[in-house]
Amino acid sequence: MILKLKEKIKSSSGDDQERKTYKQLFDSIKSSRVQSKEQCDDLINKVNLKYVEVADLNARLQEKVLVISTLKE
C-alpha cells in the first residue's frame, strides 16, 4: 500500500491537489503503521514478561510439591 502511494505521488501528472491528497494518505498510513508497530512491540514485551512470571510460578509450585512429597514420606 505504501509503495503504491509513493509511486502515485511520484507519477502524479502535476496536479498539486492530487499530489497533496496522496501525500497526506501516505503520511497518515506511515504514522499509523509506526504507532501499530510500537503497540505490538509493547504487547510482545508484556507477553514475554508474563511468560517468565508463569515459568517462575511453576518452578516454585514444583518445589513446594517436592517438599510436600518429602514430608509425607
Three-state SS across 9-44?
HHHCCCCHHHHHHHHHHHHHHHHHHHHHHHHHHHHH
- Give mean pLDDT, residues 38-61: 98
Decide if pLDDT at 53 tops 80. Answer: yes
- Give mean pLDDT, residues 18-33: 86
Residue 22 burial (C-beta neighbours within 10 Å; 0-12, 13-18, 19+): buried
Domain count, the chain: 1
Decide if pLDDT at 54 tops 90. Answer: yes
Give residue for cell 518429602: 70
State the pTM of this model.
0.60
Decide if pLDDT at 52 tops 80. Answer: yes
Tell me 73's DSSP state. Answer: -
* Residues 73, 71: Cα–Cα separation, whole Å: 5
Decide if pLDDT at 40 tops 80. Answer: yes
Domain containing 52 equals: 2-72
